[in-house]
Amino acid sequence: MATLQTYTISDLAREFDLTTRAIRFYEDMGLLQPQREGPGGRNRVYSSRDRTRLKLTLRAKRLGLSLTEAKDIIEMYDSPRDTGPQLRKFLTVLAGHKRQLEEQMADLVANLDEVRVHEKEARALLAKAEKAGPTAKP
């Protein structure tokens, strides 16, 4: 008889370098659904499914997805439906984030170009000032 792997909140916090508070927040958002054990259900017991959902949530965050978007996509994989609609939804979300990141990248490149112009002007002014020597004060 196989024993199912379970995890404490501390186990997951340590493995994923999170605070227990962050894990409880993900639970409050409905991303994790641990079993409760002990007096008054105070002890959270996380399953392998919870661990996988946490891993997927963190991956979605790195991709720039909101927690709501992450939850929607993760829940699609929990459903017994065909994967076609799930993958189309995922691709739509990814396309939107890709477009947003590309716009941010364009803004960053424009800002860097502007910084380079100001830097060049400041260096030229400094070189001119140093060449002229110390200036007399009125």
Last residue of a domain, one of 38, 65, 92: 65
pLDDT in tens, 81-114: 667 777 787 788 889 889 999 999 999 999 999 9
Q: Which amino acid is at 107?
A: D
pTM value?
A: 0.65
11 and 57 share one domain: yes
13: CATH: 1.10.1660.10
Domain boundary among 65, 96, 117: 65
Domain span holding position 20: 1-65
37's enclosing H/E stretch is strand 35-37
Q: Are residues 43 and 99 located together in one domain of the fold?
A: no
In a domain, 43, yes or no: yes
If DSSP codes are grouped into helix, strand and coil, which group holds residue 61?
helix
Query: So what's the pLDDT on residue 82?
Result: 62
In this prediction, residue 29 carries a pLDDT of 92
Query: How far is residue 107's CA from residue 128's CA, in Å, rounded to a whole number?
Result: 32
pLDDT of residue 135: 61
Binned at pLDDT 50, 70 and 90, residue 17 comes out as: very high
* Tens-place pLDDT, residues 41-60: 889 999 999 999 999 999 98
